[in-house]
Structure 1
């Protein structure tokens, strides 16, 4: 492999490595290896797989450090433990969600998307969330993936900013409520409002209850394109704006600006892209957004500055968080 061609070959081989990882995750191999090594034929019986084919997939993920070969077959490594179902920090839902058939199609059809400017996924399947709603099992899997995405910063979000100076935080598009629950748990005097679509809101009660903050949080159903709960002094948009075009994002932001009490603060939690050519997970995420969503994108700091200004906000600061995320803090611009 020549040094000049190395980045290209790495990308080519990376696709095969992820495919093998996805197969091992989907088959539940890590669950069956949790108690120790197993022979390939034994593991194949437990997973409902063809033994020679499974051996080839395991050989590939062994080269990635997920499993290792032993005299008795294969065993999990520390990295492989993250593929166990229900294990703390499990990444199995994330791998299975990204490897789901529709998302595979979206990535494979990226050339068509780049040519036309229209998501090939959207052309075939319609909107991503409508696609999820047609399959309850897939919706559950995607929700678990989203929880896995929040895990790197979930333990630090409450300490990343002094939320105690606010009276009420509205989590707009708050989903299952894990993020809002973490912030409320870290600030005992803060009250919360979880706002999302009517079929999403009931699922948040469990997370809020588990963190012991349900008595300080209201659940409100609605559509953020129409309006958001008014009168609060703090609003949070976490992994919301990247789903939408600039025009749609400004519409959401203007609804928040109209609802916010004077002197209020907006928090936008997203991956903020670097302005240079350096690698960043947000650039990988941006390609998935391009492939799946018509108009969805990750943005740079300058792009957020422009977006916020168009909705009457002023970007105040960007606070780095674990997992390549950032908390964008914005104030209501008096001239906006």
Structure 2
């Protein structure tokens, strides 16, 4: 929590230039006593150093600066999508005993309603998704034969980061992203900036509603783990009904017991009431919609790709 408060107050950035606790307290309109206690603890943690000139950010503390490029600001800042969502962990006992998300109990609305109410949170969440894929996109693109699909629909594909990378590497493939506004507009902007607007477009819509029909592949990248089984069934049903007769449904996620971590499993549960699933659980979900598992491919250190085909 000390790190979260430090990032929320902007201390790592501000203290690239030394300042005393009293000076900072005036500048931030903070308690001089409380702020000095926080700064001292951050010094113990190695985030700050204390000199005659005051406190200043260490090389280690630079990892918490907004321009560090590692996404930590989003995950720690108490007013941004990542940091805000992790406050749901104070309701972990509630989630464990009831099976319900802690987020809604803590904030009075579920995560997705919160995003709908606050455009800044939605933009921060979209950026968080970009950051999560940033390091793993090259192996994801390289370790699966995306080029055999003439058309791909990226269902809930955010601002188009994943689809753009796939299309960049496969010049004969076209694609669509299905997303809510304003994320769909951001995806179209990305496609235009990458010179892909002749082969890619984003259409406004929800994955609980009918999807663009007839594509050869429907991609769900980090989607199903955000939802409980009832909602996962609804999403898979839309993919199955939209897919071409020889179409595929592709689930790209961490798989429990194979790629996932226990900490992230808990996060999915307490924030969304979702979870990382085992291969057999995906098979059971998909079978209800006439989908049979074809292959499971380890495409990165963090994610597997499960390919399903229509059988009915």
Corresponding position of 2:155: 172
Q: CA deviation at 1:72?
A: 4.2
Is 1:331 aligned with 2:308? yes
Q: CA deviation at 1:63?
A: 4.5
Change (3 A) 1:292 1:331: closer
State which of 263, 268, 274 in structure 2 corresponds to 1:289.
268
Structural mapping, 1:260-275, within 5 Å: 260-274=243-257
In 2, the alpha carbon distance for the partners of 1:318 and 1:46 equals: 53
Write the deviation string for residues 40-62 of structure 1: whole angstroms up to 9, x where unpaired. Answer: 44555555544443343344344
Structural mapping, 1:147-226, within 5 Å: 147-226=130-209
Corresponding position of 1:316: 295
In 2, the alpha carbon distance for the partners of 1:66 and 1:212 equals: 42
Corresponding position of 2:103: 121
Change (3 A) 1:332 1:76: same
Q: Which runs of 5+ in 2 are unaligned?
A: none
Q: TM-score, normalised by structure 1?
A: 0.79
Tell whether the 8 Å contact from 2:214 to 2:244 is kept in structure 1 after alignment: yes
Corresponding position of 2:11: 29
Corresponding position of 1:60: 41
Change (3 A) 1:45 1:59: same
State which of 213, 221, 224 in structure 2 corresponds to 1:238.
221
Corresponding position of 1:9: none
Is 1:249 aligned with 2:232? yes
Write the deviation string for residues 187-207 of structure 1: whole angstroms up to 9, x where unpaired. Answer: 233211011124431122232
Q: Which runs of 5+ in 1 are unaligned?
A: 1-18
Corresponding position of 1:99: 83
Is 1:139 aligned with 2:122? yes
State which of 39, 59, 66 in structure 2 corresponds to 1:85.
66
In 2, the alpha carbon distance for the partners of 1:21 and 1:315 equals: 45
Q: TM-score, normalised by structure 2?
A: 0.85
Is 1:306 aligned with 2:284? yes
In 1, the alpha carbon distance for the partners of 2:67 and 2:194 equals: 18
Deviates more, 1:139-148 or 1:230-239: 139-148
Task: Give the match's secondary structure for 1:299.
Answer: coil
In 2, the alpha carbon distance for the partners of 1:267 and 1:93 equals: 28
Write the deviation string for residues 286-322 of structure 1: whole angstroms up to 9, x where unpaired. Answer: 22222232x4222123322332333313151131424
Task: Give the match's secondary structure for 1:115.
Answer: helix
Q: CA deviation at 1:78?
A: 4.5
Tell whether the 8 Å contact from 1:314 to 1:331 is kept in structure 2 after alignment: yes
Task: Give the match's secondary structure for 1:273.
Answer: coil
Change (3 A) 1:142 1:61: farther
Task: Give the match's secondary structure for 1:24.
Answer: helix
Task: Give the match's secondary structure for 1:215.
Answer: coil
In 2, the alpha carbon distance for the partners of 1:287 and 1:67 equals: 31
In 1, the alpha carbon distance for the partners of 2:162 and 2:253 equals: 13
Change (3 A) 1:118 1:265: same
Q: CA deviation at 1:212?
A: 2.8
